[in-house]
Amino acid sequence: MHADKPIAESTVRRLSLYLRVLEHAMERGIRTISSEELADEGGTTSAQVRKDLSFFGSFGTRGRGYHVAELVSELQRILGLGREWRVYIIGAGKIGAALASYHGFVQRGFTVLGIYDNDPRLVGTIVDGVTVRDFATLADDARRESPEIVVLAVPGEVAQAVAERVVAAGIHAILNFAPVPLHVPAHITVRSVNMALELEGLAYAIVHRDSVTPAA
């Protein structure tokens, strides 16, 4: 039944979404929820919810549904959200600064230890309580603080070069906001958020109305 076998990225994404819905339900005092209700809120189907959860165990009660608080803590455990994650943000521009103060990050246990930039005018300034550090000190700082994750918020032209410095500094996970695909060794995990690309997807959908396969 449950397993540590390869789980689809889409499944993990939905688990995060379920967690959010469940936390919201918990705040409103709801104690029990069915796969049907969870699916409606999360924009998927009940069968999908049950299948997603079944990869990790059986958390429900037949005839009754899921106990909200219990499922919340199971999902937190599965997603690795019980602990603190140390994060560096690279790039103190508009996007980097916005991310530094993004509430959704802090809330989930992601602590921003430092923001890096190579612009001497920015180094030393304080962005949302975090001092901007000189990018040149990245490797040294990383040796000392061993962050698990880097958020890349730099221009596309330098993203690949910066990513290589990050990998060289011994960091194994990158959340990439630059609009280019990163080329990294296989043991490095990269997830990319490409905002321009999503906008272009909308443009395509508008132009080709009712010829795209839908998605949330």
Q: Interface residues with DNA (CB under 7 A)?
A: 1, 8-11, 34-36, 44-48, 50-51, 53-54, 58-66, 213
Integer Cα distance of 88 and 119 in angstroms? 17
Name which of 42 and 96 has its Cβ closer to DNA. Answer: 42
Which one of a second copy, DNA, none interacts with residue 34, CB within 5 to 8 A by kind?
DNA
By the rule CB under 8 A, 169 interacts with a second copy: no
Residue 153's nearest CA partner among 185, 179, 191 is 179
132-168: b or e for each residue (b if 16 or more CB lie within 10 Å)?
bbebeebeebbeeeebebbbbbbeeebbeebbebbbe
Name which of 62 and 121 has its Cβ closer to a second copy. Answer: 121
Integer Cα distance of 50 and 141 in angstroms? 43
Which one of DNA, a second copy, none interacts with residue 78, CB within 5 to 8 A by kind?
a second copy
Name which of 64 and 121 has its Cβ closer to DNA. Answer: 64
Integer Cα distance of 132 and 75 in angstroms? 34
- The least distance separating DNA from the CB of residue 148, rounded to whole angstroms, comes to 24
Q: Whose structure tokens read 């603190």?
A: 84
Q: Which stretch binds a second copy (CB under 8 A): 45-53, 61-69, 105-113, 161-169?
A: 105-113
